[in-house]
A and B are shown apart, each in its own frame.
Chain A
Amino acid sequence: MREPRPFAQRAAVAAVSLVLLGGVAACSGPQDGGASSGGGDGKAAKGGKLTVLNSEAQSDFDPARLYTSGGGNIPSLVFRTLTTRNRAAGAAGTKVVPDLATGLGTPSKNATVWTYTLKKGLKFEDGSAITSADIKYGVERSFAAELSGGAPYLRDWLIGGDTYQGPYKSGKGKKTLDSIETPDDRTIVFKLKKPVGDFPYLATQTQFAPVPRDKDTGTTYEKHPISSGPYEVVKNTNDGERLQLKRNTHWSQKVDDQRKAYPDTIDVRSGLDPAVINQRLSTSSGDDTAAITTDTNLGPAELAQIGQDKALKSRVGIGHFGYTDYLAFNPKVKPFDRPGVRRAISYAIGRSSVINAVGGSSLAEPATTFLPNQKAFGYTPYDHFPAGGNGNPAKAKEELRKAGYPDGLTVTLTHSTAEGEMGPKVAAAVQQSLAKAGITVKLKGLETNAYNEKRWDTDDTPGFFLSRWGADWPAGYPFLAPIFDGRQIVKDGANFNHAQLDDPAVNKEIDEISGLTDLDAAAERWGALDKKIGERALTVPLFHPVYQRLVGKNIQHVVISDWTGVLDISQVAVK
């Protein structure tokens, strides 16, 4: 999973919160979604031009490089993958469904070998047939250093994935990856190091999109990737700042039951200020009547404004995306080695203030579980340290006394100086609520890059800091394993197991569940595991964000699934 944004560009970075007005208007983070019929459903019409107003450029429009959840939004218009997310609103949208493949894949008995068969009649934008070799090549090139950026699962799971360096000359060693076999043009087999029940979820990512070897131009492929989806690239200006798409005539609805592809052309314009995007959508004149955004959320000020306008309110879609913002502890740092201290902080936290600091109750829901509050993740409600909305100072003080701090204590909370979920306002809210329990919090703000480096540095992780985690796909594995699996503690690189928990029992349970191919059964056990780990108070879950997004007047057929929390661009129609 990645932290900052699901449609992350290569660098999820920001040395300084330079984004003017960023965080201001709208957190241009993952954003939004929600199952709503924003612009009113009615009969969807084919044709017309859809405008997309975004703040982040669709940089690196190469299937090897994109880090997406479920294949991304705009990318999935051009890149079809073996499987994909179900294009339905709400919880139904968290299901994984076949895309290029005929099914979700056939696992071997122990789920270490996954076999897929391609549908018949699949074509690239030039009319040539899509074969299993094209998919194998697409996966292989994502291992090249030149095309880095994707999710780590392929490297971790495929046999030989840890040493393979891609098909290009610059990489050392063998040029092909033997653990992917293509016995015929329509069959592809993946051989894994260990049992993986979640493989169908992984196969939704763009690395599983076909790439014809003879059309591959390395790092320049992103200018005009060969489309397998309903749209092809007409022009890619300024590294994805403007992306003009038109219908791919070789794509057929008959072999794609997920994408609706109503508009004839799609014009994606990015680099816009979030405040400007929302203003344009609310004004909704000219081309903007048929405009949407796939990355900008309504901010607190805009919500306060829209609250007074019924017509505008009807154009807002509400969405959920599996995200948890939390207080992280590093028990290697004193006094957080004492469970009593961690429990005291858990009791003392006042979630109402924290939620107000990120925009109030319409933009965030209080969290007491680490897993997001969605069934697909295996959500099992628990509240081990009930604090209510405003904290329970009495209980917190009692815990402190038992832990040997009868007179309270002073701790340092590290946070980002960039406005937002890990920013100064949230930190100050934490500071305020802990003060009531006799815990003095000193704040230490770091610029975004420095903050991330510190947070991810195993040897130098602060004892107490703000963090967040989002879903690569709606299941327990990508949510819990990177945070709590002892073998995923990364020594020199980005580490997300901040607590550096390495408990054999937890590791074993993670292994067992991740081998299950029955996804419902797996979800249930992930929920139980989350509840169990929660007792240790290694994190204090704060809130799950809620995303509110505005669309233009003439937008129809707004579908927002709980997988992405974003309105699905492949379903949108223009009146």
Chain B
Amino acid sequence: MAVQDVLAPGAGDPPAPGPAAGARGVWRRLRTRPSAVVAGAVLAALLLAALAAPLLTAVSGQDPYTYHDELVNSASGGAPHGAFGGISGTHWLGVEPGTGRDLFARLVYGARVSLLVAAGALLLQVLIGVSVGLAAALGNRWADQVLSRITDVMVALPMLVLAIALTTVVPEDFPRPLLLILVMGALNWGGTSRLVRAQTLTLRRLDFVAAARLGGSGPLRVVRREMLPSLAAPVITHAAILLPSNIVLEASLSFLGIGVKPPTPAWGQMLSTATTWFRADPMYVLLPSGLLFVTVLAFTVLGDAVRTALDPREASRLRVGTRKEKTRD
């Protein structure tokens, strides 16, 4: 076991032998945690807003693209007229300096990009990570060596740089959100793969897996019936950490100007033009950064809660301080 595996969230302590905790149990435990409920509610609202973006903007009578020259003061750098960045009955959260585009519309449309890209990339990361991790753990020595080295390369790569390089190589007609998903998915699966490999190696030695093997189950069947269910808990836990970090990564890429292409709105991209307006129009900075912050925070809180719910031993340990089974490998 390498040190990263120990440090990876949820790793080191293989889940309790036997079938994973039932979904219903997890749900029940989640419901009893107020922080999880609040985070869940925030995310649900956000998701809803993102999905219903066209509907919401229809209600406000705005769209994210139309310029409103009359709403900004051209002589003083294009600052919005009126208090708080031009908040009014028609522009609920004010307008963008310089262009007068409606901020509410841009924010809800921006949410679509952020969430879609983060979730899509997560799916890809988990898919690649689990496959490579399983193959490395269950394959022969050579397969393990090669796959583990590849994983090392993936972890060692400076992600931002490669993402930058990749986004410039791909033809410009390629849909940007998809490209972002592919790039982030293809570059950031190293952690998942290491986690899965370590877990699988441990699992292989556990009684119920060995029993299944002795019972004549084929390798694929063992993987499907015995290992994947047991891997679910640590992988979901890990995914809960990956998702918010994907959101931050997408924002960073947009911030650097290589995210989705304008005029399509995205939070990071709004931030990158907003930063200098900190003093002249604070609302313009606070809205996207606040939203980004709340989203990531909600995901992290919820992820934390899911982790605890999936691993009831931890919860009880923290509460009572009982002795914990320590497995060695």
Contacts and interface: CB of A to CB of B under 8 A. Distances in A.
A contacts B directly (C-beta below 8 A): yes
Given A307-B76, A445-B172, A356 B263 contact: no
B152 interface: no
A417 B262 contact: yes
Given A17-B257, A425-B98, A428-B67, A301 B77 contact: yes
Contact of B76 (A18, A275, A304, A447): A304
Interface string A298-315: 011111110100000000
Contacts of B255: 20
Interface string B161-175: 000100110001000
Nearest to A443: B263
Interface string B66-110: 110100111111110000000000000000011110000000000
B37 interface: no
Nearest to A429: B67
Interface stretch (A139-147, A198-206, A359-367): A359-367
Interface in B206-226: none
A290 interface: no
Given A353-B69, A450-B172, A21 B275 contact: yes
B239 to A, nearest CB: 29
Given A303-B76, A304-B78, A363-B77, A356 B276 contact: no
B280 A428 contact: no
Given A18-B257, A428-B262, A24 B275 contact: yes
Contacts of B232: none
A18 B164 contact: yes
A133 B69 CA distance: 59
Interface residues of B, number: 36
Given A360-B72, A445-B172, A21 B277 contact: no
B75 A360 contact: yes
B250 to A, nearest CB: 15
Contact of A301 (B74, B97, B100): B97
A356 B69 contact: yes
A551 interface: no
A21 B276 contact: yes
Nearest to B173: A444
A265 to B, nearest CB: 31
A305 B285 CA distance: 15
B42 interface: no
A395 to B, nearest CB: 20
B35 interface: no
Contacts of B273: 23-24, 419
Nearest to A390: B69
Interface string A442-476: 01111101100000000000000000000000000
Contact of A445 (B66, B76, B168, B261): B261
A275 B275 contact: yes
Nearest to B259: A417
Interface string B40-62: 00000000000000000000000
Interface in A3-20: 15-18, 20
Given A18-B256, A445-B172, A301 B277 contact: yes
A355 interface: yes
A352 interface: yes
B275 A428 contact: no
B311 interface: no
Contacts of A425: 98-99, 262-263
A17 B257 CA distance: 6
Contact of B276 (A15, A16, A299, A352): A299
A88 interface: no
Contact of B77 (A23, A303, A418): A303
Contact of B78 (A300, A445, A450): A300
A180 interface: no
Given A299-B276, A304-B78, A357 B168 contact: no
Contacts of A17: 256-258
Interface in B266-304: 272-273, 275-281
Interface string A357-387: 1111111000000000000000000000000
Most chain A CB within a 10 A radius of its CB, from B78, B100, B262, B277: B78
A469 B281 CA distance: 32
A299 B277 CA distance: 10
A72 interface: no
Given A16-B164, A417-B262, A21 B77 contact: no
Nearest to A451: B172
A272 to B, nearest CB: 14
Interface residues of A, number: 49
Contacts, number: 145
A360 B98 contact: yes
B103 to A, nearest CB: 15
Interface in B102-161: none
B159 to A, nearest CB: 15
A363 B75 CA distance: 8
Most chain B CB within 10 A, of A25, A301, A305, A432, is at A301
Given A356-B99, A357-B98, A450-B168, A299 B77 contact: yes
Nearest to A305: B280
Interface string A90-117: 0000000000000000000000000000
A304 B79 CA distance: 6
A359 B98 contact: yes
B76 to A, nearest CB: 4
A167 interface: no
Contact of A360 (B67, B77, B275): B77
Nearest to A435: B66
A432 B66 contact: yes
A424 interface: yes
Contacts of A450: 168, 172
A359 B76 CA distance: 8
A302 B276 CA distance: 7
A446 B257 CA distance: 11
Given A24-B272, A432-B66, A419 B257 contact: yes
Nearest to A423: B262
Interface in A391-449: 417-419, 423-425, 427-429, 431-432, 443-447, 449
Contacts of B97: 300-301, 304
B294 to A, nearest CB: 23
B257 A418 contact: yes
Contacts of B79: 300-301, 304
Given A16-B167, A16-B258, A17-B256, A301 B172 contact: no
B172 to A, nearest CB: 5
Contacts of A18: 164, 256-257
Contacts of A432: 65-67
A427 B65 CA distance: 12
A304 B256 contact: no
A450 B174 CA distance: 14
A25 B262 contact: no
A307 B78 CA distance: 12
B280 A21 contact: no
13 contacts: A16-B167, A16-B257, A275-B276, A299-B77, A300-B98, A300-B276, A304-B73, A307-B77, A359-B78, A360-B75, A417-B257, A445-B261, A445-B262
Interface of A: 15-18, 20-21, 23-26, 275, 299-305, 307, 352-353, 355-363, 390, 417-419, 423-425, 427-429, 431-432, 443-447, 449-450
Closest 8 CB pairs of A and B: A424-B262, A300-B77, A17-B257, A303-B77, A304-B280, A304-B79, A304-B77, A301-B276
